Amino acid sequence: MTSRPDISLAERKRQLVANELTESALQLLALRGFDAVTVDEIVAAAGVSKRTFFRYFASKEDVVVQFLAGMGADIHAEFCARPRDERPSVALRHAVLAPVEACADHPDHAERALRVVRLILRTPALYARFLERQAQWRDDLAAELAHRLDRDPARDLYPRLAAGMALTAFDAVLERWSGSDGTEDPADLTDRAFAVLAPALDAV
């Protein structure tokens, strides 16, 4: 028996609509460019009304922002799930790979993720939001890292520096992966990036 309440039918329906809107919006934005797509076109592709769109999102930019929020949640959840005695370089490597690793065995999903990543990196307004979100990801990772190492984040530079290095590696992997049109393996790129960082990350 579980204490978790069942998700209501209404909530499942809301989630399905939100997922359909997100998928339609990201597909159009990634294929045609952020500025070329209107909300009218997104709702037409999703088969919903404009009122329904604005019930879930404040703007088309908000769709991408929520996508970024999901990436950050995946990174944080994976890091928190890693064994507490695991070397920081290993735990952080698994954490930053989490958003793209799930797509590795699904070519269609990987292609969509690649297009969305390219859209974010090449659209100044979206890239600015990406960096804004990353600042929060860094703070969350630093806090968790300080907790598991019994460090004081207000006094110790290591947690914030380590989180920043991990996310810099994440950025480098995304840039290289998108620049290669998906021909390079993001897991291999991540391994190579963390091989460079590991001596510094594990010197604790």
**DSSP-assigned letters across all residues of 184-200:** S-HHHHHHHHHHHHHHH
User: How many domains in the chain?
Assistant: 2
Do 176 and 75 fall within a single domain? yes
Question: What is the reported pLDDT for 3?
Answer: 45
Question: Residue 2: inside a domain, yes or no?
Answer: no
Do 31 and 117 fall within a single domain? no
Q: Are 62 and 45 in contact (CB under 8 A)?
A: no
Residue for token pair 């952020």? 34
Question: What is the reported pLDDT for 150?
Answer: 94
For 92-112, what is the mean pLDDT? 76
Do 176 and 89 fall within a single domain? yes
Confidence category of residue 48, pLDDT binned at 50, 70, 90: confident
CA 104 vs. chain centroid, Å, equals 15
Q: Which of 19, 34, 57 is the last residue of a domain?
A: 57
Q: How many CA atoms lie within 13 A of 67 on its CB side?
A: 27
Q: How far is it, in rounded angstroms, from Cα 115 to Cα 20?
A: 17
The answer to whether residue 199 scores a pLDDT higher than 90 is: yes
Q: How far is CA 44 from CA 20, 36, 48, 119, in A?
A: 12, 15, 7, 21
Residues 6+ apart with CB under 8 A from 156: 146
Q: How far is it, in rounded angstroms, from Cα 64 to Cα 83?
A: 31
Question: Residue 164: inside a domain, yes or no?
Answer: yes
Q: How many CA atoms lie within 13 A of 59 on its CB side?
A: 7
Do 53 and 81 fall within a single domain? no
Question: Residue 38: inside a domain, yes or no?
Answer: yes
Radius of gyration of the chain (CA): 19
Count CB atoms within 10 A of the CB of residue 26: 20
Arithmetic mean of pLDDT over the chain: 88
Confidence category of residue 79, pLDDT binned at 50, 70, 90: very high
Do 27 and 74 fall within a single domain? no
Do 99 and 192 fall within a single domain? yes
Domain assignment of residue 45, given as a range: 8-57
Question: Residue 3: inside a domain, yes or no?
Answer: no
H helical segments located in 35-157: 39-46, 50-56, 60-81, 88-101, 107-122, 124-148
Do 42 and 119 fall within a single domain? no
Question: What is the reported pLDDT for 121?
Answer: 92
Q: How far is it, in rounded angstroms, from Cα 165 to Cα 167?
A: 5
3-state secondary structure of 128: helix
- CATH code of the domain in which 79 resides: 1.10.357.10
